[in-house]
Amino acid sequence: MAVAPELPELPCAVAPGQRLGDVEEVLAGPGTYAESGFVYASVSGEARLGPDATLEVTPAAASAGGAVPGLGTTVVAHVVRLSQERADCTIVAVGDTPLAEKFRGVIRKQDVRFFEIDKIRLVDCFRVGDFVRARVLALGDTRSYVLTTAASDTLGVIAARSAAGAALAPISWQYMKCPLTGRKEKRKVAKPY
């Protein structure tokens, strides 16, 4: 059986995935998660122990005055990879506030819209390079936030480029049009369209 590494003296600066304490001694609070009997940091920042033995990590960007994605907040994400089941993104802004530190997000197939989920093809909703307005559905794991575009008509693609390289203009909730070629491309478009 391996000996547990020395736990940090609190308060201190921590990195995502860093072990902070034993679940028998402390509770996981904001910015942390419990797994396999231990509490770990889910974001980089300052770890503190609250009066009720709750471990919290204040994100570094928040302590420096910047915005940080939180549960239920609206974010702008840049699509970096697509698969049949999910779109991997980089969160670049919370609301209209650009982020100093980039966060990873994922839009799962079932979180694109509420209806006809079995008929959704992600390549008809997003493309690599699109900018998407989404809402933080869950804080996820240490790797990424879970995002949704199903919560409102105002969520979806807000900026995209056509195959010809021109900025696409929204024409309906599921189509954008290239001003150069006149061709329509499928997207899950955010209002107004």
Domains of the chain, each with CATH number or no CATH: 12-63 (2.40.50.100), 74-186 (2.40.50.140)
pLDDT band at 157; cut points 50, 70, 90: very high
pLDDT band at 126; cut points 50, 70, 90: very high
Distances (CA, A) of 125 to 86, 116, 176, 193: 11, 13, 11, 15
pTM for the whole thing? 0.65
CB atoms within 10 A of CB 108: 14
pLDDT band at 98; cut points 50, 70, 90: confident
Condensed to tens digits (0 to 9), the pLDDT of residues 46-59 reads 888 887 888 888 87
Residue 11 pLDDT: 61
- The more confidently predicted of residues 156 and 116 is 156
The average confidence (pLDDT) of the chain is 83
Contact of 105 with 91, CB cutoff 8 Å: yes
Alpha-carbon dihedral sign for residues 62, 65, 69, 72:
positive
Beta strands across the sheet bearing 54-59: 12-14, 45-49, 54-59, 27-28
pLDDT band at 4; cut points 50, 70, 90: very low
pLDDT band at 2; cut points 50, 70, 90: very low
d(C-alpha 146, C-alpha 139), whole Å: 6
Statement: residue 5 has pLDDT above 60: no
Percent share of the chain, pLDDT over 90: 38
Q: In this structure, what are the phi and psi dihedrals at residue 140, rounded to the nearest 5 degrees?
A: 65, -150
Statement: residue 193 has pLDDT above 60: no
